[in-house]
Structure 1
């Protein structure tokens, strides 16, 4: 039967069930003729689409790239991707479900429900195709369901990037026109569609600009317009209580999404046992040991707005001095002296056993009661207003239309939350940062300096929010992923006070373990438990210091072999033939 019963299951693990679902007909009695008739039918069907949203994979875009260093480097970072036989992201089931809904929802007699839930469907079709565009580039395009014997459709060729992008934006425009205007942390609204349009258009605009593709300006302008609509005509803003030392951290470790800034979030709750593992991931010594790389730590400005990397010998400054007087987002993203767990009073030094680089992550980390594997319940962001502000500033900078007033209305709102000085357009462009120039050598033009500064801001503000890989791809900045991965600086063997309390927290040693070990102190053997480079920086991956990124191949993923065999009109992505 064409109709998919499974799509009608109430998605308890995502959005919960209201009491009226208990009055539904048995699923065995549901048919194409008696469904899609009521608003509750449309809601129940579209609930299934929410499974497309990321869960704990919210930080995958950082882990597959150079923002998070773990015990195992991703295939993308190692240059070790291979052509899959099947799978590999080439999955079209959700698209059929969405198109089937679009073909049937107008049976409903509730006009307001038809508008809203069609908007939900158009949002998710855009979301589906955006994921395919990012992963594979050109793909076949289907806006209707197809039967198993429709060989012409099943063997459709790939459509151009421009064609796919234009269809995505058309769907988002339909969604924006139809969706309800309300603050709903876990449901698609008009504001969700605007935020996604801001993201999609910036992605394709910059992807095109850095590859000299025609028409990229149209997409950048679309991103500006969608962003500006949210900035000027939405209930959202930057979450702030006035506490510059904790607000950024508390935005992410809250159990419930802060709806003043979070436009769309993934909900987690113990009520129906929907949990994630970020506490366990960041605090245990047996699950990846994720850490921030030193080049990102170096990117954080000083608290007065000056560059840390302008300091002499900035790579040989010990941890407690290194993290002092920096952009407050640093101490709200990794453990630094004075850090306490949410709901606790004890100050904690970094646990070098739980992080490969020595910079231990604290973003999303909540109370210790949730430290057990898969027990965390802090909601995770999918779309937030802070990203929209950065999209706006970047799109205008790439277009060459950015003004100081634009920066003040966007980036500065994020800096105000943490008490950072303003970003100056003139200063940035008159004196581009050489440290950032080395990361992004293909940035040029009159706005070079401010584009680099916005990229700095983006990497810091959106850390662990699934953006880094896609940012590197659209900027054509793959060589940034080949830079050395490094961690903390230590002068050598000895005792080290990591939290400035006057007591040793770490002892680095060579040879035999020291006698008379003190409880609570970490004893780490050089050359066995930890490795250093020639500059006494932690080398978290000494076996992968000669990584390669193929500029002609690695920005896209390969199509599976079986799909190429089944559809002779498909072509493999460049470099993967």
Structure 2
């Protein structure tokens, strides 16, 4: 079945269902649980604007630079309190044990509901710290029951883990249709405990938390391996070969019933898009982070930007569309390379910012000002006319994350060799050479060195997958990362054609044979980044609309309140 889309019962008015229907009809119960997937399963293909992965596409959209990055973050910026949907879960959990249908179905559905309650609470806790724990379906009129003080963060984590442990015991071992199974629940528990062990929450570096995170992720990996899960060999095809062995938790899409069209349109060059362009335009900061195929770092100070594409690891080619890249969209196949250079209106060498991009067919303000476009997670076979028919699934958790989560925790509990071995697997899949020292270019030895190597690896391995924003926060390096930017700006490249009009590349061309015909200049974004104090990023403020609901809710300390999210 397709979650959130295919079963006609998915469209049932759940509020109108009688309790007896929920207790006697497994189809109704399944529809009720399906609604939880609709409400909580992430699916954001344009998630880079709050991080160093992407830059603003042009001056028209400069105002869209995230509040997190331009110094305008307030307590009202981030507002995510899904208590209405949590109440629906609580209603189901309060009744499901009395259901009269098949016991196996009942167990599985209860486990899925427990998972989604844990997921919903963790979504709030990682943003704000402790929140109000409401575990029963209280009537909206019962103000004393629903307007309660915030629980301690530690109490919330305990409840989240409790729900996950119960879910792990109830759900099916392995699902082939995208439902929450034991693989997903165990892996998500590992993610939760990794966050709880990270500096955002763990200021004293309590090794017991790291040990719990290590054990949870190690147990998850053992179970995943037993179910045939593992790293998918081809990183580029990971998102198009759906439900492959690396996929752990996924939101499925299928045209025509449930397409992901807007996201696909927004990440393509204008010539191959429709109605939108410019989401997730890769920054030069991200592009420079991809290693060379020998495992060494790319060094822009000693290398030529005209050939920045040469000898990079496979993830670079799977993720970044650059000037002269091989055809990567349907309309290009067998016809032409990807070009992002500029030339003047006569097709001669470009001059200044008014040069016209090679891919232009409208306003120059609608093109990538970094010279890059995202290639990762795209449905490469759809065209401009069918761009809203995209079917690429959103993978929320994959095997590589669990492996990297385990590696991070292993390093912090003194198991550096195990951490490095996990990284070697990731790099081997990326086509990086083992080298004479069989370390895949990772020279790290000490705990801090391995920690930094893991941070760098996650940046490129999980680019555009929604991990970076939360990683920077949990490591408490959000402010320092952006303050380290040269001139406090994001950067890109301006690529200009300096050959003749007659020589302009046509058809399929080896970029290496004409690289010297381009001038490549580093350029900066339209707006500088402006950072606030790190603590304001570690725990967001509680919005005024939430505080106004009840005098029992305290604001976080870093936002002028009294609530300590570290307890």
How far, CA to CA, are the matches of 2:404 and 2:553 in structure 1? 36
**Which residue number in structure 1 is paired with residue 28 of structure 2?**
41
Between stretches 64-73 and 49-58, larger displacement belongs to 49-58
- TM-superposed CA distance for 1:176, in Å, is 0.7
Change over 3 Å in CA distance of 1:81–1:487 after alignment to 2: closer
**Which residue number in structure 1 is paired with residue 185 of structure 2?**
193
**Aligned-partner SS, 1:57:** coil
Change over 3 Å in CA distance of 1:143–1:222 after alignment to 2: farther
Change over 3 Å in CA distance of 1:429–1:239 after alignment to 2: closer
How far, CA to CA, are the matches of 1:54 and 1:506 in structure 2? 47
- TM-superposed CA distance for 1:393, in Å, is 0.8
**Which residue number in structure 1 is paired with residue 337 of structure 2?**
348
**Which residue number in structure 2 is paired with residue 260 of structure 1?**
245
TM-score (norm 1): 0.79
Instruction: Provide the aligned C-alpha RMSD in A.
Output: 3.2
**Deviation by residue 1:426-456 (Cα, 9 ceiling, x = unmatched):** 96335xxxxxxxxxxxxxxx31111111112
**Which residue number in structure 2 is paired with residue 292 of structure 1?**
282
- TM-superposed CA distance for 1:575, in Å, is 3.3
**Aligned-partner SS, 1:382:** strand
1:150-169 equivalences under 5 Å are 150-169=142-161
How far, CA to CA, are the matches of 1:158 and 1:425 in structure 2? 47
Change over 3 Å in CA distance of 1:502–1:401 after alignment to 2: closer
1:49-448 equivalences under 5 Å are 49-60=36-47, 62-71=48-57, 72-84=64-76, 88-109=79-100, 110-207=102-199, 211-212=203-204, 214=206, 215-240=208-233, 247-252=234-239, 254=240, 257-285=242-270, 287-288=277-278, 290-309=280-299, 312-314=301-303, 317-319=304-306, 321-336=307-322, 337-343=324-330, 344-351=333-340, 354-367=367-380, 369-372=382-385, 374-404=388-418, 406-408=419-421, 410-422=422-434, 424=439, 428-430=443-445, 446-448=446-448
How far, CA to CA, are the matches of 1:209 and 1:559 in structure 2? 17
Aligned residues: 505
Residue 545 of structure 2 is aligned with which of 548, 559, 562?
Answer: 562
Between stretches 144-153 and 470-479, larger displacement belongs to 144-153
How far, CA to CA, are the matches of 2:389 and 2:370 in structure 1? 25
**2:281, 2:373 within 8 Å by CA — same for their partners in 1?**
yes
**Deviation by residue 1:382-436 (Cα, 9 ceiling, x = unmatched):** 11111111111111112222325x533x333332323213473996335xxxxxx
- TM-superposed CA distance for 1:190, in Å, is 0.9
TM-score (norm 2): 0.81
How far, CA to CA, are the matches of 1:301 and 1:428 in structure 2? 13
**1:357, 1:487 within 8 Å by CA — same for their partners in 2?**
yes
Gaps of 5+ in 2: 58-63, 271-275, 341-356, 358-365, 561-567
- TM-superposed CA distance for 1:340, in Å, is 1.5
Between stretches 337-346 and 155-164, larger displacement belongs to 337-346
**Deviation by residue 1:286-333 (Cα, 9 ceiling, x = unmatched):** 523532222222222211112223x7534xx223x2120111211111
**2:370, 2:493 within 8 Å by CA — same for their partners in 1?**
no
Gaps of 5+ in 1: 1-10, 241-246, 431-445, 509-531
- TM-superposed CA distance for 1:58, in Å, is 4.1
Change over 3 Å in CA distance of 1:208–1:364 after alignment to 2: closer
Change over 3 Å in CA distance of 1:566–1:273 after alignment to 2: closer
Does structure 1 residue 544 correspond to structure 2 residue 556?
Answer: no
- TM-superposed CA distance for 1:121, in Å, is 0.6
**Which residue number in structure 1 is paired with residue 61 of structure 2?**
none
